[in-house]
Amino acid sequence: MFNDLSSLNSYLSSRRSGRPRNMIAPGPSDEQIEDIVATALRTPDHGKLAPWRVIRIDSDQRSLLAAELAKAYQSDKPDAGRLELEALETMAHQAPALLVVLFSPVTSTKIPLWEQELSCGAFSMNVIHAIHAHGFVGGWITGWPTYNDDVRDLFGKAPERIAGFIFAGTADGALAERPRPELDAVLSRWTGTQSG
């Protein structure tokens, strides 16, 4: 896809996330998903801990996921309304491909948990980049299911946590650009005193 540094830079500077509800078929094939995750394994990882896991949810499991999300939500919020439950149903069925990324910390190591969390975030971003490099659109979503222990237990166990739900597919139209911070707001030069 990238013949030179210019095309790589163009890709990186124009990459945009897609909304899962706007993703249509086709999505990545089984082989492409394996390649996407294999590519993300190149993530910086102090101590070679691989403090992340990926669980793929195939289309024939989406209804079960929706039911389990609704069950966990109603357990957490017994007075849940119809629209809240419908939103979970919709989330479970969005986009052709759905990956759950788990932060899977290694506690028997001197590597700080913060560094492991950073690595998991970098891994998730590399999954997104690899999805786009394959010609698809990706979206990394968090929200209530990410922070609920019953939902986490569908995929793993403590001390693991859900880092996010990554959706992939084909955009149903042009992706909207969002405002980005001005470069001067995030890049400065240290002069021996506190920046900010």
The model's pTM: 0.93
* Chain centroid to CA 123: 9
Distances in Å between the alpha carbon of 44 and those of 7, 124, 178? 23, 12, 28
How open is the CA angle 29-35-6, to the nearest 5 degrees?
110
- At 83, is the secondary structure helix, strand, or coil? helix
- Which residues make Cβ contacts (< 8 Å) with residue 48, sequence separation at least 6? none
What pLDDT is recorded for position 12? 80
Alpha helix positions (H), 3-104: 5-14, 30-40, 62-76, 82-93
17: tokens are: 């996330």
Q: Which of 194, 196, 176 is nearest to 186 (CA)?
A: 196
What pLDDT, on a 0 to 100 scale, did the predictor assign at position 1?
Answer: 57
How large is the average pLDDT for residues 24-53? 97
- Taking only the tens place, the pLDDT of each residue in 68-120 is 999 999 999 999 999 999 999 999 999 999 999 999 999 999 999 999 999 99
Q: How many residues does the structure list for the chain?
A: 196
Instruction: Taking residues 7-18, report their average pLDDT.
Output: 82
Helix (H, G, I), strand (E, B) or coil at 117: helix
The 3-state secondary structure of 129-172 reads: HHHHHCCCEEEEECCHHHHCHHHHCCCCCCCCEEEEEEEEEEEC
The whole-angstrom distance between residue 149's C-alpha and the CA centroid of its chain comes to 18
Predicted confidence (pLDDT) per residue in 124-173, tens digit:
999 999 999 999 999 999 999 999 999 999 999 999 999 999 999 999 99
Residue showing tokens 């900010």 = 196
- For residue 182, what is the DSSP state? -
- Looking at residue 154, its pLDDT comes to 98
Backbone angles phi, psi at 37, to 5 degrees: -70, -40
Task: Enumerate domains of the chain plus CATH numbers.
Answer: 18-172 (3.40.109.10)
36, two tokens: 């996407």
Find tokens 């913060």 and name the residue.
114
